[in-house]
Structure 1
Amino acid sequence: MRKTYQQKLRLGLLVIFSLLLFVVAVYFIGNRQNMFVKTFSISANFNNVNGLMKGNNVRYSGINIGTVKDIVMINDSTINVLMVIEDKMVTHIRKDAIATIGTDGLVGNMIVNIVPGKGDAELIASGDTIESYTKIGTGEMLSTLNVTNENAALLTAKLLNIADAMADSKGTFGMLINDTLVAQNLKQTVNQLRIMSIEANKSMKSLNAIINEINFNESVAGVLLNDSLEGQKVRGMLANLEDSSIEIKSVINNLNETITQFKNGKGAVDYLFNDEDFVKDLEQSMKNINEGTDKFNQNMEALKHNFLTRHYFKKLEREEKKKAQKND
């Protein structure tokens, strides 16, 4: 009988211990799967889940708030992650929150981190899909680093080739580095350019000083530009010059006619014209007068196109046209 009682006692203790162990396991598993709290579901779409599995934790600002309930492949580039979140967090998470996939420490399990948004969006509701951000995985980083190392090796080899060519005086840079004569010529050229720049700067300063010293108020240019009375005088002088030119041209025409009559006549005048030396001198004089008249007419034409006097001549032309119209 004693042996049977000890066996029953051991069996009872084993059963009680097993029940306690079962209750504790159920509690921890249920707590991990949020079976004993009220929850709601949200989801996010990722291009790469980086090894995320069902049951992994979901954190909001570093706090565990739920677990991953399901991972569904929508298409070849989109993976939907369904998350179960504690109902008490519904007043803290907003629709502009962003979900990312990270690790729990350096070598821990994969987790979903929810980062708060700007804080001005509406509160999240059950069934909403939030924005996501896929971080670069370790494999992608190693692949990119491998390509970068290969490119660096190729670049180093090319740089070594360039350095060898420059050391052997090949190419323009090699010649500049190793040929002292070319370097001296280049140095002289740069020095000459510097001297030319200094001289040009001095010339510009001198020109600015001359312009600043010009008195536009009292000089001839300033008087013509600013003084209306002096401008009228100049216009009067130009008008007189034009009248004089017309009268001189008329006198020359009359003189030419008189000379022609003298050449065709007789007597003392005819004798004077028959004297070759006198005739040559007279013809040379007339030629000089004609040349002077042409130059004077050219000067008058130039004055008509000068920016200081052309307005006056245009005014005279308009007045002459008006007079002609009145006479008609």
Structure 2
Amino acid sequence: MKSATRSESYKVKVGIFVVLGVLILVGGILMVGTLRKTFVNKIDAYAVLDDVNGLTKGSNVWFSGVKVGTVKHVDFVENSKVKVTFGIEESSQRFIKKDANVKVSTDGLIGNTIIVLSGGSPEAEVVEDGYQFRVQKEDSQQDMLKTLQENNKNLLAITADFKELVRGIKGGEGSIGKLLTKDDLYQKVNSTLTGLEAATVNAKATTVALAQFSRNLNTQGNFVNDLMTDKQMYTDLKQTVSTLKETSGNLNQTSTSAKALVSNLQQTTNQIANDRTGTVGVLLHDEKTAANVKSLLRNLESGSAKLDENMEALQHNILFRRYFRKKRQNEEKSDTLTQVTTLGKMP
């Protein structure tokens, strides 16, 4: 029984010594890694910040992604600000300029808090021991978390609106909902699209026809092509247009003269129609005078007929028959002579 107890005690002691040995080994490795640059020459610089976001002594200092030093002191100063003093290796000093900026960042998204040096122009002076860097404000993890929370709220609101929109569409609300749920509206839209397609085909055919028409116009020998390229034809056409303009002006003058003549005739007609004392006015308005004129004309016509009968009777009278026969013979001779003269003049 005592032997078993001693054996268990011995095992416990061995286990304790093993654990202590492992811890001492790990601590030694970490210490060697941390103190590896303990004896490297450094210069001290500092920056005064409003918030260091958990920065502690021993935190790394980075420049262009390379570790160039560590934080030495984190102290409060006036106005609740924090002074961070850090060392910079002399081997990296010549690359860091006085116009560089300091900001507090993290090693990764949720890593350790570090100091980051950034910027600096080539023509600026190199930093010196005791130099104070300018501070560049950077969003902290809390600020990023707040931003993420706001984005989550906005995303939830957008999701809720989208769900409401989908519910309305499924219920047949709005143009899209009606289009998806009502067959008659779909048929109308489909018919409209078919009409648009036909109109597109017609427009394409019209475009082709216009292109062919344009090519025909540009064909040599075409009137329009000759008109555009033949200077003489253009000059002749210009003269023709000028002549047409002149003719149009003459026609306008003739039309004006005709209008004046018609106006004068109308005025004269009105005067004749309204003048009852003149000859024409008396004939137009005095029925008695008109009747007398008609009777006179009938008498003249009757006298002329009787005169023709008397002349016919004289021609058959034995006393005047020889006279009229000789007159007819003279007329026949005169006609024959005229015909002969005409025939002689013909070629």
- Relative to 1, partners in 2 of residues 1:106 and 1:207: Cα closer, same or farther, differing over 3 Å? closer
Match of 1:241 in 2: 251
Q: What TM-score, normalized by structure 2, do the two folds share?
A: 0.53
Is the contact made by 1:96 and 1:121 (CA closer than 8 Å) also made in structure 2? no
Give the alignment partner of residue 253 of structure 1, picking from 253, 257, 263: 263
Deviations 1:166-200 (CA, angstroms, capped at 9, x unpaired):
33444443332222232222211222233234334
SS at match of 1:251: helix
Output the CA distance in 1 between the equivalents of 2:264 and 2:243.
32
Check if 1:65 corresponds to 2:69.
yes
Q: What TM-score, normalized by structure 1, do the two folds share?
A: 0.55
Output the CA distance in 2 between the equivalents of 1:172 and 1:66.
65
Deviations 1:97-128 (CA, angstroms, capped at 9, x unpaired):
343323457776422122354x5341333335
Quote the RMSD (CA, aligned, Å). Answer: 4.3
Match of 2:138 in 1: 134
Is the contact made by 1:95 and 1:121 (CA closer than 8 Å) also made in structure 2? no
Match of 1:122 in 2: 124
Match of 2:297 in 1: none
Q: Which amino acid aligns with 1:186?
A: V
Q: Which amino acid aligns with 1:236?
A: E
1:226, CA displacement in angstroms? 8.9
SS at match of 2:136: strand
- Relative to 1, partners in 2 of residues 1:30 and 1:196: Cα closer, same or farther, differing over 3 Å? closer
Deviations 1:263-306 (CA, angstroms, capped at 9, x unpaired):
2254457646899xxxxxxxxxxxxxxxxxxxxxxxxxxxxxxx
Match of 1:100 in 2: 103
Match of 1:16 in 2: none
Output the CA distance in 1 between the equivalents of 2:285 and 2:50.
117
1:13-52 aligned at under 5 Å gives the runs: 37=41, 39-43=43-47, 46=49, 48-52=51-55
- Relative to 1, partners in 2 of residues 1:239 and 1:224: Cα closer, same or farther, differing over 3 Å? farther
Output the CA distance in 1 between the equivalents of 2:111 and 2:279.
140
1:93, CA displacement in angstroms? 0.9
Output the CA distance in 2 between the equivalents of 1:203 and 1:196.
10
Q: Which amino acid aligns with 2:117?
A: I
Higher relative contact order (CA 8 A, sep 6+): 1
Output the CA distance in 1 between the equivalents of 2:286 and 2:96.
127
Structure 1 gaps of 5+ residues are 1-24, 276-328
Q: Which amino acid aligns with 2:182?
A: D
Output the CA distance in 2 between the equivalents of 1:226 and 1:198.
43
Output the CA distance in 2 between the equivalents of 1:235 and 1:166.
70
Match of 2:186 in 1: 183
- Relative to 1, partners in 2 of residues 1:191 and 1:46: Cα closer, same or farther, differing over 3 Å? farther
1:157, CA displacement in angstroms? 4.0
Aligned length: 241
Give the alignment partner of residue 202 of structure 2, picking from 196, 199, 209: 199
Is the contact made by 1:98 and 1:133 (CA closer than 8 Å) also made in structure 2? no
Output the CA distance in 1 between the equivalents of 2:235 and 2:71.
91
1:68-87 aligned at under 5 Å gives the runs: 68-72=72-76, 81-87=84-90
Output the CA distance in 2 between the equivalents of 1:84 and 1:206.
84
Check if 1:218 corresponds to 2:222.
no
Match of 1:262 in 2: 272
